Amino acid sequence: MPTLAAKLPPLKEQLVSSLLHSLSLPSNRRTAAVTLISLLNRLKAGAAARKTFLEMRAQVIQNLVRKIPFEGYIETYIGELAIVFFIGIKHTADWYLASFKENEVASCKLDSHLPLCESKQLAFISWTKGQIEEYCRIFRRQVYTKDVDPKVVQDVMQITFSSARKVLFFLGPRFSY
């Protein structure tokens, strides 16, 4: 009969796999995501949790973008697109800080190993950069065409700047890496 120690690694792998699958569901709410990430951190699967969480949030934003109707008004479409992306980034930042604060983000402020801290922050920063680049790609495709009036271009640029400023205002000092 095998000892209990021999049975634990496969069971731990199964548990981690199951928790990661649950975390990958786009229907998760903040409390569920924070709880799942906390459990994964306790199982020493923080890196996998971070990757799965950020992929799930990207999928949520992508699904919301697909639901935006384009009815011929570029200003309306870009306004809704900006809301989806910038509020999605804001909520992801809030969830990320709530999920990883005690385990990683807080330790980076006190940790003297700067490269380690940078790698812990890099996943979220890279994810955010990718989301902003995706917003810019869609923006360019919709706005910078031959038949768009320059006034419309100015208006949608203002919409983008305004939405980004609002998100930065709401993030405030809480978001300090």
pLDDT in tens, 5-41: 788 888 899 999 999 999 999 999 999 999 999 999 9
Q: What are the pLDDT digits (tens) for 38-63?
A: 999 999 999 999 999 999 999 999 99
The average pLDDT across 123-147 equals 90
Region 152-170: what's the mean pLDDT? 83
Which amino acid is residue 121, in one-letter code? Q
In this predicted model, which residue has the larger pLDDT, 142 or 56?
A: 56
- Cα separation, 149 vs 143, in Å, equals 9
Least confident of 40-54, 101-115, 136-150: 101-115
Instruction: Examine the pLDDT at 75 and tell me if it is beyond 80.
Output: yes
Mean pLDDT of the chain: 84
Say whether 13 sits in a helix, a strand or coil: helix
